[in-house]
């Protein structure tokens, strides 16, 4: 069976998601990206029949994903995309019972999400130096990421009128255009005030207009630039490779829960639709809890 048929089936599947399932463009694009990796792999290994794959074929594909150094959550997402694709093929009577369902996706939270210790966060927040070109902006970005747990896309999309520095909170627009209110700590408020009063004036951006974080030319920052900023200061602080803006989101939630914060409050601040998602963070301190139990319980 030709790979042209596989390409055609994936295209038809994406069209089905859009027209019949009514999924958003971003969701369809995400499925498309994950399936494109499967198509590329199938071409390289010369998969002879994508409609009736053997279990050994799918195991090889999982091994390939791991060889690509994908994290467990990413591998799981690829498996979900593949399952959805084969369910569509069954719905269209293009294939019968598939071995895809025999694959158990990797346990998303078997591996503890990458979380920085409070000491490591402190090193990162202090990494920008006064002689750095965008010192005040970058310090404000790092403080805000950790203070709020906001996603990278939410931070770069933040506008000045979403800030209320006097009351120490911001209005964040998250997934599905849902708005939530997130508190700001004193350090984040101070860093943002310094940035607004000095750096934005220097690039001749109106003080109360447009995006909060901008480049030297006054253009809004993108997610890639934000990622590079975090990576730059992580390297300077000597932190592990792979730390990203999302690592600070993980750290924000974990540190709050470890300090005794209410799970529902953390859910609201993160903008999770389901508390089940937030509960994942309660597993992060599992080892610490075991140590406490052994130390203090009479039969620990």
The predicted-structure confidence for 117-126, as pLDDT tens digits, reads as follows 888 899 999 9
Q: Is residue 112 part of a domain?
A: no
Q: Is residue 89 part of a domain?
A: yes
Alpha helices, H only, the chain: 3-19, 25-45, 55-67, 72-91, 118-125, 135-148, 152-156, 186-194, 200-202, 223-237, 245-258, 263-270, 275-279, 286-296
Residues 94 and 161 reside in one and the same domain: no
CB under 8 A, 24+ apart: contacts of 204-212: 207/160, 208/160, 208/161, 209/160, 210/159, 210/160, 211/156, 211/157, 211/158, 211/159, 211/160, 212/158, 212/159, 212/160, 212/162, 212/163
Q: Which residues contact 216 (CB under 8 A, 6 or more apart)?
A: 133, 134, 203
Q: Which of 70-74, 88-92, 109-113 has maximum average pLDDT? A: 88-92
Q: Is residue 108 part of a domain?
A: no
Residues 156 and 259 reside in one and the same domain: yes
Q: Is the pLDDT of residue 242 over 50?
A: yes
What's the total number of domains in the chain?
2
Q: Which tens digits make up the pLDDT trace of 129-175?
A: 999 989 999 999 999 999 999 998 899 999 998 999 999 999 998 87
- State the Cα–Cα distance between residues 213 and 140, nearest whole angstrom: 9
Q: Is residue 300 part of a domain?
A: no
Torsion of CA 164, 199, 242, 34, to 10 degrees: 70
Q: Which tens digits make up the pLDDT trace of 17-53?
A: 988 888 888 888 999 999 999 999 999 888 888 888 8
Which letter does DSSP use for residue 219 in this model? Answer: P
Q: Is the pLDDT of residue 105 over 50?
A: no
Q: Which residue among 59, 74, 102 closes a domain?
A: 102
Residues 132 and 271 reside in one and the same domain: yes
Residues 8 and 143 reside in one and the same domain: no
Residues 32 and 170 reside in one and the same domain: no
Q: Is residue 295 part of a domain?
A: no
Q: Token match 């070109």: residue?
A: 133
Q: Which residues contact 192 (CB under 8 A, 6 or more apart)?
A: 140, 143, 144, 163, 165, 184, 212
Consecutive H or E run containing 208: none
Q: Which residues contact 108 (CB under 8 A, 6 or more apart)?
A: 72, 73, 76, 280
Q: Which residue among 55, 76, 102 closes a domain?
A: 102
Q: Which residue among 76, 102, 128 closes a domain?
A: 102
Q: Is residue 109 part of a domain?
A: no
pLDDT value at residue 53: 82
pTM of the model: 0.60
CATH of the domain at 223: 1.10.443.10
Residues 128 and 275 reside in one and the same domain: yes
Domain that holds residue 45: 3-102
Which letter does DSSP use for residue 222 in this model? Answer: P
Residues 133 and 229 reside in one and the same domain: yes
CATH of the domain at 59: 1.10.150.130
251-262: b or e for each residue (b if 16 or more CB lie within 10 Å)?
Answer: bbbbbbbbeeee
Residues 268 and 131 reside in one and the same domain: yes
Residues 27 and 153 reside in one and the same domain: no
Q: Is residue 123 part of a domain?
A: yes
Q: What are phi and psi of 170, to 5 degrees?
A: -135, 155
Question: Which residues are known to be catalytic?
Answer: 151, 175, 246, 249, 272, 281
Local confidence band at 112 (pLDDT 50, 70, 90 cut-offs): very low
As a whole number, the mean pLDDT across the chain is 81
Q: Is residue 230 part of a domain?
A: yes
Residues 129 and 97 reside in one and the same domain: no
Q: What are phi and psi of 13, to 5 degrees?
A: -65, -45
Residues 269 and 126 reside in one and the same domain: yes
Residues 83 and 124 reside in one and the same domain: no
């Amino acid at each position: 069976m030709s790979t042209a048929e596989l390409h055609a089936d994936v295209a038809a599947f994406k069209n089905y998601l859009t027209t019949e399932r009514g999924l958003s463009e971003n969701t369809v694009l995400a499925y498309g990206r994950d399936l494109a990796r499967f198509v590329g792999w199938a071409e390289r290994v010369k998969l002879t029949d994508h409609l009736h794959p053997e279990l050994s074929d799918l195991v090889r594909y999982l091994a390939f994903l791991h060889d690509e150094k994908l994290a467990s959550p990413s591998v799981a997402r690829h498996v979900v995309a593949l399952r959805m694709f084969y369910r569509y093929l069954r719905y269209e009577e293009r294939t019968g019972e598939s071995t895809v369902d025999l694959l158990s996706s990797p346990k998303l939270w078997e591996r503890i999400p990458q979380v920085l210790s409070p000491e490591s966060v402190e090193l990162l927040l202090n990494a920008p130096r006064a002689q750095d070109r965008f010192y005040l902006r970058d310090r404000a970005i790092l403080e805000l990421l950790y203070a709020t747990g906001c996603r990278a896309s939410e931070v770069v999309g933040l506008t000045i009128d979403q800030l209320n520095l006097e009351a120490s909170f911001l209005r964040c627009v998250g997934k599905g255009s849902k708005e939530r209110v997130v508190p700001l700590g004193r350090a984040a408020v101070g860093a943002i005030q310094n940035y607004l009063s000095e750096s934005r004036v220097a690039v001749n951006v109106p003080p109360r207009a447009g995006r909060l974080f901008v480049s030297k030319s006054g253009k809004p920052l993108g997610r890639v630039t934000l990622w590079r900023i975090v990576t730059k200061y992580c390297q300077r602080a000597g932190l592990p490779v792979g730390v990203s803006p999302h690592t600070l989101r993980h750290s924000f939630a974990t540190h709050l829960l470890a300090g005794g914060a209410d799970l529902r409050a953390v859910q609201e601040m993160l903008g999770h639709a389901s508390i089940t998602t937030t509960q994942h963070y309660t597993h992060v301190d599992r080892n610490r809890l075991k140590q406490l139990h052994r130390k203090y319980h009479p039969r620990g």
